[in-house]
Structure 1
Amino acid sequence: MASKYTLFLLLLLHFRSATCDQEQPNIIKLGFSLSPTNHPTSWLSPSGRFAFGFYQNGNGFSVGIWMMGEIENTTTWTANRDDPPVPSTAKLELTMDGKLLLRTESKNSKPIASVRESASYAAMNDSGNFILYNRDHRVIWDSFSFPTDTLMGGQSLSRGAALFSSVSKSNRSTGRFRLEMQYDGNLVLYPIHTPNISVDAYWATDTSDRWSKKNLDLHLNSTGALLLINITDSTVDVTLNDGSLAFNNSIMYRAVLDSNGILQLYSHSFNGFYENKTTLLWSKPDNKCSVKSFCGFNSYCTLDDDQPVCRCLPGTDFIDMDEKSHGCERNFTEEWCKDAGRSTSSPNIVPMENMDWDDPPYFQAEMQEDDCNKSCLEDCDCDVALLDSEGHCMKQKLPLKYARRDPQALSKAFFKVGLEGVKKKQTGDNTSQEPPTVIIRTKDATVLLLVVTLGLVMWSFIALAISGLFAFKLRFLEYRRLLDRGDIGLSEELALRSFSYKELKRATNGFKEELGKGSFGAVYKGSLSRGKRIIAVKRLEKVINEGEREFCAEMRVIGRTHHKNLVRLLGYCAEGTKRLLVYEFMSNGSLADLLFRSQRRPDWNERVRIALEIAKGILYLHEECDAPIIHCDIKPQNILMDDFWTAKISDFGLAKLLMPDQTRTFTGVRGTRGYMAPEWQKNTPISVKTDVYSYGIMLLEIVCCRRSMEVNVQRPEEIVLSSWVYKHFEARELEKLVWGEEIEKKSLENLIKVGLWCIQDEPALRPSMKCVVMMLEGITDIAVPPCPTAASS
């Protein structure tokens, strides 16, 4: 009996051990590893429906999660998706110290999951979620929290997060479209690298007005319903698709932002261990050609057998015939302004029905069809005109960004395709004849041809020599004239132009379009050279009543400053009491707009770049000009952004021109409250260190993306930015300043220390701008700064 009882216990223990192994076959212990080519290459979920590990990517391998059971496995998540594929010698390892690392043959390692604590084990779940647990069995990281282009059943897209499409099914790198769950409660589809504005959106739930006060997340539940859920009280506010089905353990649901910009919902029915039937349940937008930027610049989308096809606008050809989504470019040379006397019957206008686009026109007026056609034909800046159903003629320059052909649209477009004969392909004139073939039949004819050829060659050399001699003479005379006049090297591009008040009034259309109003006066948009050059005209208000000669001399000093991070002064006007300045036009607004008014804050690398560009501009003013210039009003409103988002300093050198009571932001001293150095209040002499103080305050604003003084905050200690920053710096809690961002801690700490050094109460403690630039570039080490007086108050 004892032997039978012992045998029974052994069988029972073996059975319980086998049962436990079956209950948790997806547990990955510390020290486990994967290889791209040697078994195991992946870790499976308990049912075998999902795998985490290496998959083939071109000539290499990538790490991701995919769904098993199809001819081609469906990838649902990719780690470090924009990194190049790794070789077959790579290794994925859950190390003994609890880190999930990808190691390559060069002994380099890169984390797959960035966690603050060590993992004790990992698991690949049947929901498609790969999870890291700590020793308390608490989740410290999971792939569901970092979606790429896919949501699985049970997964959510939180506020401020986005899905980014892949390039293609075979290339899982970041593609051309994004689905963003905005903070205002609106779920919107955009092309990538566009701001969150309506002109760039091509599909939205339009829930921002109704739900702007609610915290909405996008959630795909296990029954296939796409829901907008209020995370405050866990209630469903909006159901996007037709509703949900009953729960079925053999069906998985997957929402994916496809490479063509369409949001699609699929069901996957598992009839067996590796049998997977895929069905498309829902997609948005319904019209595949409504996806903006699907076809690229100067092309439009049309449906062919319900499939979107890209075609070029008249007068353009595909840039790459193999990649038609890359857009089109002109196939002729713009020469129409050389022939001003063309009639409207010229074949250089190609009409197209049912065309439409969302690009804003530079001109719009009510016209008849013939007048719209003629207006574009006679306008050198017009490349295409659109006449809508209400009789509005809208003139446009190429490239067109969001063109489409819609059978329902009643509009008509007129494309200008160049002069007759410039491109026969466009006019359809293929009657040009090939030159006749010359056949040499005798020896005398051959000799004659050689003599004529040599004669033409010698005549050409003589003509070139004479032309070169005349060109040298003209250049020599011009050089002597400039040398005698004493302004050699002063080109028109660098010369400061003096404008009349009448010229600037006409250029701004009577000062009609105001761009903004700052400390020195209002700024208006204008144009020169028949609209070819856009300018900004600043009308100075309450300037010191000095003579015209003194003002012109001061302008020439400012005009000699040339740096890529300074807004360029093009000219000025000084007539009587009128004082106006003409600047280059900055199309992307101010740094204040970017930091405080934009719905999406700039990423960290962009903020670091902007901070360094501003520092280099101030360094030029302080140390590299002929005479040092103290700006006296460094603030985000005076930092403007050009077409390429390069930061440029404006309003430099103007402080000495203003009266002491200039505008409400000046109170007997120069500067703006919140950015003024303490010496302004002490009536002590100012120096370049006052600009350093203002820059330090602005640097902290750039780091934290908030103003230096904020009244509407949760806690009183957060009102003054410098105090709040130093408190967290002293407590080594810098990550709380940029909550929700993935930022390298060393880079964040360096910028905070530079900002705190710059706002020291004593000017002698503040670094020079040259030291600031060197610290930002990592050339010099940064010591720990003492507590600024402003931060301790």
Structure 2
Amino acid sequence: MTNVDWPLSDYDRFQLFTEDECRKACLDDCFCAVAIVREGDCWKKKFPLSNGRFDSSNGRIALIKLSASQHSSPPSNCHVHLPLESEKPMIDESRLVMLGTNLKRFTYDELEEATDGFKDELGTGAFATVYKGTLAHDNGNLVAVKKLDREVGEGDKQEFEKIVGAISRTIHKNLVQLLGFCNKGQHRLLVYEFMSNGSLATFLFGNSRPSWYKRMEIILGTARGLLYLHEECSIQDIHGDINPQNILLDDSLTARISDFGLAKLLKMDQTGTTTGVMGTKGYAAPEWFKKVPITFKVDVYSFGIVLLELIFCRKNFEPEVEDEKQMVLGEWAYDCYKEGKLDLLVGNDQEALDDMKRLEKFVMVAFWCTQEDPSQRPTMKTVMEMLEGATEVPVLQTHPH
């Protein structure tokens, strides 16, 4: 089967493998249900397969194991068989696509029961409150239930469900997956997978400082998620509110962006001005407060602020500091950069001090992201290339703010 994948189900990956080698690797592994092959890369997937996706341009070949009873000569001691491309798959492609986009429709009563009357609040924002829930009918799986304010999506029910369906098809390892929704009467709720390690804000600004290398991984993961939203998914989307509360961490502390798609539910016109200001104070780009078109560059600005926070492990605004020059992180960082004293912000973070070349490069990227003029900010694709070293970071000529 071609152009089909289950992006969230892989547990092992090999490189420089032929299709036959990938097939054999899966056959020899009793946990492997499907092998995906593309241009020398081989991914092994295991049950339960979920979030299946068909994309006519991805160029991947899915090798699906069948039980021995479905074929006359089982080729391995796992008693399974992988079909050749010419053989008929065990399930037709249209059904696979539906499995990947079949959101669970919840009743309000179901979600009220799952959250025990909306008791355990995980967080609250300008447009919604999030509660922890348990789905009793689904093996007790934990979920995050986002209860939207009444004015959010209060228009046409079909339009709401169309947008929610589009959000559910936006699948990436650095995005939080939407599992279901409720759209009954005045109630608008979204059900997401639960992120066990909470928000980046809690992780970054807690009592102990996270390691430099884990912070670098979070930076790159967040950038990849934003790049996917902006340029690589089928419905390119402005997030509108990138900040440490909306970047969550899963079991392995992988960065997962949440709340993408809410801009559409808030009826933001992606090609012109918006009907209201989004974003969070301290992270919102200047153009939110002007009568100018809103573009993907608002997310680039917010990412730049978060990037500085991750580099120096402190909040963007600290009103309690003794030296008022240190209140705004971006201002202080720029002053230290001009004077060649970025180590003042690093303090006793020895891992960061040992990696000053990369630290200085990432700081420069943050300065470009937070330029006042959106046309001077890079795209997330360029940001990603600069962070990974594929593109040189230009010399900064102007103050970022």
Q: 1:675 is matched with which residue?
A: 283
Cα offsets for 1:471-502 (capped at 9, x unmatched): x9xx97975xx57xxx3322535532221212
Whether 1:763 and 2:374 are equivalent positions in the alignment is: yes
Q: How does 1:722-741 map to 2 (within 5 A)?
A: 722-741=330-349
Higher relative contact order (CA 8 A, sep 6+): 2
1:570 aligns with 2:179: yes
Give, in whole Å, the separation in 1 of the partners of 2:348 and 2:69: 73
Deviation digits for residues 646-697 of structure 1, max 9, x if unmatched? 110000010232389xxxxx99411111111121222110100110001001
Match of 2:360 in 1: 749
Change (3 A) 1:464 1:640: closer
Whichever structure has more strand as a proportion of its residues is 1
Give the alignment partner of residue 658 of structure 1, picking from 266, 280, 299: 266
Q: Which residue of 2 aligns with 1:786?
A: 397
1:534-549 aligned within 5 A: 534-541=142-149, 542-549=151-158
1:582 to 2:194 alignment: no
Return the alpha-carbon distance in structure 2 between the equivalents of residues 617 and 747 of structure 1: 21
Contact 1:708 1:721 in 2 (8 A): yes
* TM-score, normalised via structure 1 length: 0.38
* Residue in 2 that maps onto 1:4: none
The aligned runs of 1:45-194 (5 Å cut-off) are none
Q: Answer whether contact 2:200 2:249 (CA < 8 A) is retained.
A: yes
Counterparts of 2:70 and 2:341 in 1: how far apart (Å)? Answer: 77
Answering whether residue 239 of structure 2 is matched by residue 628 of structure 1, we say no
Change (3 A) 1:506 1:736: same
What is aligned with 1:432?
A: none
Residue 611 (structure 1) shift: 0.5
- Which of 221, 243, 251 in structure 2 is aligned with 1:643? 251
User: Could you tell me how far 1:741 is from its partner in structure 2?
Assistant: 1.3
Q: Secondary structure at the match of 1:567?
A: coil
| 1:21-40 aligned within 5 A | none
Structure 2: state its 5+ residue gaps: 1-67, 269-273
Distance (Å, rounded) in 2 between the aligned partners of 1:752 and 1:547 = 44
Superposition map of 1:2-401 within 5 A: none
**Aligned partner of 1:498: which letter?**
R
Q: Deviations over 1:317-351 (max 9, x none)?
A: xxxxxxxxxxxxxxxxxxxxxxxxxxxxxxxxxxx
- 1:295 is aligned to none
Higher helix share: 2
User: Per-residue deviation at 1:719?
Assistant: 1.1
8 Å Cα contact 2:153/2:160 also seen in 1:
no
Q: Confirm or deny that 1:527 pairs with 2:119.
A: no
Q: What TM-score results when the alignment is normalised by the length of structure 2?
A: 0.73
Match of 1:317?
none
Aligned CA distance change for structure 1 residues 595 and 465 (closer, same or farther; 3 Å): closer
Partner letter of residue 524 of structure 1? Y
- Counterpart of 2:172, as a letter, is H
Give the superposition deviation at 1:532.
3.1
Q: Which runs of 5+ in 1 are unaligned?
A: 1-460, 661-665
Compute the displacement of 1:609 (Å): 0.9
CA shift, 1:464, in A, is 7.7
**Separation in 2 of the partners of 1:730 and 1:504?**
53
* TM-fit CA distance, 1:787: 3.2
Task: Give the 3 Å change call, closer, same or farther, for CA 729–549 of structure 1 in structure 2.
Answer: same
Deviation string 1:690-710 (CA, Å, 9 cap, x unpaired) is 100010011111111111111
Residue number in structure 1 paired with 2:305: 697
Distance 1:634 1:534 in 2: 24
Note if contact 2:367-2:400 (Cα within 8 Å) is conserved in structure 1: no
- Partner of residue 219, structure 1: none
Indicate whether 1:495 and 2:102 are aligned. yes
C-alpha distance in 1, partners of 2:161/2:267? 18
1:254-311 superposed Cα distances (whole Å, 9 cap, x missing partner): xxxxxxxxxxxxxxxxxxxxxxxxxxxxxxxxxxxxxxxxxxxxxxxxxxxxxxxxxx
Match of 2:97, SS state, is: coil
**CA distance 1:713–1:498, shift in 2 (3 Å):** same
Per-residue CA deviations over 1:159-211 (Å, capped at 9, x if unaligned) read xxxxxxxxxxxxxxxxxxxxxxxxxxxxxxxxxxxxxxxxxxxxxxxxxxxxx
How many residues are treated as equivalent by the alignment?
314
Distance 1:632 1:574 in 2: 23
Shift of 1:544: 3.7
Displacement after TM superposition at 1:740 (Å): 0.6
* SS class of match (2:102): coil
Kindly indicate whether the alpha-carbon contact (under 8 Å) linking 2:153 and 2:188 is maintained by their aligned counterparts in 1. no
Q: Secondary structure at the match of 1:489?
A: helix
Whether the 8 Å CA contact 2:267–2:275 is kept in 1: the answer is no
Q: What are the superposed Cα offsets for residues 346-378 of structure 1, whole Å, 9 maximum, x if unpaired? A: xxxxxxxxxxxxxxxxxxxxxxxxxxxxxxxxx
Corresponding position of 1:773: 384
What one-letter code is carried by the residue in structure 2 that aligns with 1:711? P
Give 1:745 shift. 1.3
- Which portions of structure 1, spanning 4 or more consecutive aligned residues, are displaced by more than 6 angstroms? 461-464, 475-478
Measure, in 2, the Cα distance between the counterparts of 1:708 and 1:659: 29
Distance (Å, rounded) in 1 between the aligned partners of 2:330 and 2:186: 42
Give the secondary-structure state (helix, strand or coil) at the position aligned to 2:188.
Answer: strand
Which amino acid is 2:120 matched to?
A: E
CA distance in 2, matches of 1:658, 1:762: 25
Letter in 1 for 2:196: S
Identity of aligned residues (%): 47
Question: Counterpart of 1:505 in structure 2: which amino acid?
Answer: E
For the pair shown, the structure with the greater C-alpha radius of gyration is: 1
CA separation in 2, counterparts of 1:490 and 1:699? 36
1:604 corresponds to which residue?
212
Please tell me whether the aligned partners of residues 677 and 690 of structure 1 are also in contact (alpha carbons under 8 angstroms). Answer: yes
Q: Compared with structure 1, are the counterparts of its residues 496 and 736 closer, same or farther at alpha carbon in structure 2 (3 Å cutoff)?
A: same
CA gap of 1:759–1:465, structure 2 versus 1, over 3 A, is closer
Which is worse superposed, 603-612 or 616-625?
603-612
Over 3 Å counting, the alpha-carbon distance change for 1:659 and 1:476 in structure 2 is: closer
Q: CA deviation at 1:788?
A: 2.9
CA positional deviation for 1:780: 1.4
